[in-house]
């Protein structure tokens, strides 16, 4: 306790900076651990209408930009948060056709 009182009296900014750095480190550590736990249990999930293309790419461990091209939309028409249902509507095909197109592309990408 004496050391903390000394640091507060003599090196207040240093103590504040160290505390802030420690807090930021803990926040990023928690975010990292959450990411590991979440994506560890969400691999190769069944594609649903709400899923963005980026989410599917992460789940199936393929490149997001490559998967965007597999939607068949022109490059100006898609963005990372575009859902599969919206991509299918823009391409004038059904959701099921878009899902099948993406699954075939993913399987072809993964094939040895």
Q: Where are the domains of the chain?
A: 2-40, 53-110
Instruction: Give the whole-angstrom CA distance, residue 107 versus residue 105.
Output: 5
SS3 44: coil
User: What is the structure's pLDDT at 26?
Assistant: 98
Which residues sit opposite 52 in a β-bridge? 83
User: What is the structure's pLDDT at 17?
Assistant: 93
Q: Give per-residue pLDDT as tens, 16-39.
A: 999 999 999 999 999 999 999 998
Q: Does the structure show a pLDDT above 90 at 103?
A: yes
Q: Does the structure show a pLDDT above 80 at 112?
A: no
Q: Residues of 70-107 as b/e, b for ≥16 C-beta within 10 angstroms?
A: bbbbeeeebeeebbbbbbbebbeeebeebbebbeebbe
User: What is the structure's pLDDT at 40?
Assistant: 86
SS3 52: strand
Q: Give per-residue pLDDT as tens, 56-95.
A: 999 999 988 888 888 888 777 767 788 899 989 988 899 9
């Amino acid at each position: 306790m004496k050391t903390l009182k000394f640091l507060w009296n003599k090196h207040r900014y240093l103590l504040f900076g160290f505390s802030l750095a420690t807090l930021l480190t803990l926040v990023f550590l928690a975010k990292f651990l959450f990411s590991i736990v979440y994506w560890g249990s969400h691999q190769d999930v069944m594609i649903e209408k709400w899923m963005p293309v980026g989410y599917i790419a992460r789940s199936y461990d393929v490149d997001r930009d490559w998967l965007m091209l597999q939607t068949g939309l022109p490059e100006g028409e898609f963005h990372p948060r575009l859902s599969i249902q919206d991509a299918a509507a823009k391409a004038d095909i059904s959701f099921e056709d878009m899902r099948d197109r993406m699954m075939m592309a993913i399987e072809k990408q993964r094939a040895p």
